[in-house]
Amino acid sequence: MGFLRAILGSEVTRLYLRHTTIRKDGKTHTYWRLVRSVRRGRKVVQETVAQLGELDAEGRASARALAQSITGRAAQPDLFTVPSAPVPVQLDQVRVERSRRFGDVWLALTLWQALKLDEFCAGTLAEGREQVPWSTMAAILVIARLCEPSSELHIAEDWYRRTALEDLLGVAPEQVNDDRLYRALDQLLPHKRALEEHLKHRLGELFALDYELLLYDVTSTFFEGQAEGNPLARRGHSRDHRPDCKQVCIGLVVSRDGMPLGYEVFAGNRVDVTTVEEIVGTMEARYGKAQRVWVMDRGMASADNIAWLQQGERRYLIGGLKSDLKKLAPQLIDARQWRQVRDGIEAKICAGPDGEETFLLVRSADRQQKEQAMHRRFCERIEAGLSSLQRRLEAARSVIDRSVTERQIGRLLGANSRGAARYAIRLIDDPALGSHLRLEWSARPEWDDWSRHSEGCYVLRTNVRDWSAEELWRTYIQLSEAEAAFRIHKTELSLRPIWHQRQDRVLAHILVCFLAYVLWKTLEQWQSRAGLGNSPRTLIDELGAIHSTDVVLPTATSPPRELRIRCVARPDRAQLALLDRLGLRLPERLKQPHLRPQM
């Protein structure tokens, strides 16, 4: 059975084709799947990467039709054809040279062209006397960010020469230097808004996307270095757990499928709740004020934002604050009218007090268990700390400073804040003790009662009136698409940390990561609809194992010469299955052979 070998970080993953034969309606059906071997503890198990189906002629035709709609070409011809002519060759001197990664950069370039970014950049970026068009340099930046995220210096000195982009783009490695890449960043940045509008239109054409539901969230990414010349670089709440570093905040808007619509960059100390009016206003000015539903988490919820959204007759679904849950305590405690929306998830619709909004109470069994364990852990720590402090006060032989003891209690409660409100604590002056202090504490029963009812619960607020409890809940959890977008940006595309120090270069770096993410999501949609799951990195790495090489054939002619043929390695069985499902065909050769005299 053929297998693929791909390098994923420092691990080596083997992929295999496996099939299952089923007899149904008098016919035998063979279903194929792609599996990989992974180590779990001491065992090696096979994990399914993609269900390939029967790989019949109908399935292949469907995949090719999808490929045609994406690439805009009826077929995938060879990039260059090689005329066949008989030439005598010295077989004992045949050799292979110049092995380079081909499959991943070829796929990325296919995605770049599918989104018509080559046409956009060629028609938009300024042209001058540069040796390499800025549109080509922009493609190199984004393709590198998708295939092997790294710095511009690494692209110029190492990555580009190891790939077949020289053949695909016609740009020699010595023409790709860090200075030219930096200047390409400068050329690309002024066209951010036009790029977003172009991509919205093109993605809508390819996948018939629905932009009536928009998900908005904010993340942060930190700097290495002081970034003293960048006014956006500020210290603030770090989602990366790097409060020691300056950062910028990024607000991203995506569709229900996670396809990006646009983003904005804010100062690193900008609070999430203050970005709502700006981002919604920007999207409305750019794409019109349609009857969209804005979905946001509770970090965006405030009285001012709710009032502003209602004033503009905008529809929204926002996570509620803890204070909203307190206001709905009677409905929360009432066991009636709860509806199961999924296994372990119950929800109840409650009318808002002013009639303008609807509240959705949600109770999760998994979240309830998690919060119960958290509260139990924090309470145990507080009680152990209070008991220890109480014993020290009782055993003290000299007067203990009251303020010191109060600070000790404050630190204990602060380190376990989720359980601090449960306890009533008093320090009492007691002349009968040598320390003159006695510690008394007890648990508040009302805290236990509220925890018993509220653990695992949260509230959503909306002005959408015609949706059921299940529709509201399922819509809200799609915010995970925005969270996944940030995770892909940071891990797969190396958005963080930012090494650039100038503001314009930082913004350009974020734009390149955004464009690479658009390619990522395009590939994800493509492979999902081709029945290959939703793991673009696996697909990129597997095809990246396909190299192009030069086969050098010394001729037995007079004078002796060398015939050099630049070939693409033939994919093995599993790679062919992936390409077949995508409806793609690799070129066999990259340039016509040429003869040169032997030295």
CA proximity to 544, closest of 159, 154, 109, 102: 102
Type of residue at 256: R
Residue 98, SS3? strand
User: Is residue 519 assigned to a domain?
Assistant: no
Residues 6+ away with beta carbon under 8 Å from 183: 134, 137
User: Is residue 130 assigned to a domain?
Assistant: no
Residues 6+ away with beta carbon under 8 Å from 72: 113, 114
User: Is residue 263 assigned to a domain?
Assistant: yes
Q: Could you tell me if 213 and 260 lie in one domain? A: yes
- How far apart are alpha carbons 434 and 243 in whole angstroms? 44
User: Is residue 166 assigned to a domain?
Assistant: no
Q: Which two tokens stand for residue 486?
A: 């940030």
Q: Could you tell me if 394 and 315 lie in one domain? A: no
pLDDT along the chain (599 residues), means of 10: 30 52 67 66 68 54 62 50 60 85 95 95 86 95 96 95 94 94 96 95 87 92 90 94 94 91 95 95 88 91 92 93 89 88 92 84 94 95 94 80 91 93 89 72 93 93 92 92 92 92 95 96 90 88 92 81 85 88 84 52
Helices (H), 239-355: 276-287, 303-311, 322-327, 329-333
Between 134-147 and 178-188, two packed helices, what is the crossing angle to 10 degrees? 100
Instruction: Determine the pLDDT at residue 4.
Output: 28
- How far apart are alpha carbons 262 and 198 in whole angstroms? 11
User: Is residue 189 assigned to a domain?
Assistant: no
- How far apart are alpha carbons 348 and 470 in whole angstroms? 9
User: Is residue 425 assigned to a domain?
Assistant: yes
Q: Could you tell me if 288 and 318 lie in one domain? A: yes
Q: Could you tell me if 228 and 344 lie in one domain? A: yes
Type of residue at 253: V
CA end-to-end span of the chain, whole Å?
44
Q: Which of 415, 436, 454 is the last residue of a domain?
A: 454
Q: Could you tell me if 417 and 372 lie in one domain? A: yes
Measured over the CA atoms of residue 399, residue 403, residue 409 and residue 415, the dihedral's sign is: negative
Q: Which two tokens stand for residue 390?
A: 């109480």
Q: Could you tell me if 275 and 414 lie in one domain? A: no
User: Is residue 378 assigned to a domain?
Assistant: yes
- How far apart are alpha carbons 521 and 535 in whole angstroms? 10
Type of residue at 49: V
CA proximity to 102, closest of 131, 79, 74, 125: 79
**Beta partners for residue 363, in sequence order:** 346, 457
Quote the number of domains for the chain.
2
- How far apart are alpha carbons 192 and 596 in whole angstroms? 47
Q: Could you tell me if 339 and 261 lie in one domain? A: yes
Other CB atoms within 10 Å distance of the CB of residue 343: 7
List the CATH number of the domain containing 308. Answer: 3.90.350.10
Residues 6+ away with beta carbon under 8 Å from 124: 191, 194
Residue 270: domain span: 209-357+463-501
Cβ–Cβ under 8 Å, residues 514 and 525: no
Q: Which of 479, 501, 523 is the last residue of a domain?
A: 501
* Pairing state between β 315-319 and 457-462: antiparallel
Q: Could you tell me if 337 and 255 lie in one domain? A: yes
User: Is residue 493 assigned to a domain?
Assistant: yes
What DSSP string runs through 282-313? Answer: HHHHHH---S-EEEE-GGG--HHHHHHHHHTT
Q: Could you tell me if 300 and 410 lie in one domain? A: no
Instruction: Determine the pLDDT at residue 315.
Output: 93
Cβ–Cβ under 8 Å, residues 339 and 346: yes
Type of residue at 358: T
Other CB atoms within 10 Å distance of the CB of residue 431: 6
Cβ–Cβ under 8 Å, residues 428 and 437: yes
241: left (phi over 0), alpha (psi -120 to 50) or beta: left
DSSP 8-state secondary structure symbol assigned to residue 157 = I
Q: Which of 425, 454, 483 is the last residue of a domain?
A: 454
- How far apart are alpha carbons 100 and 209 in whole angstroms? 37
Q: Could you tell me if 403 and 260 lie in one domain? A: no
Number of H helices, E strands in the chain: 21, 19
Q: Could you tell me if 253 and 353 lie in one domain? A: yes
**Beta partners for residue 596, in sequence order:** 562
Q: Could you tell me if 274 and 386 lie in one domain? A: no
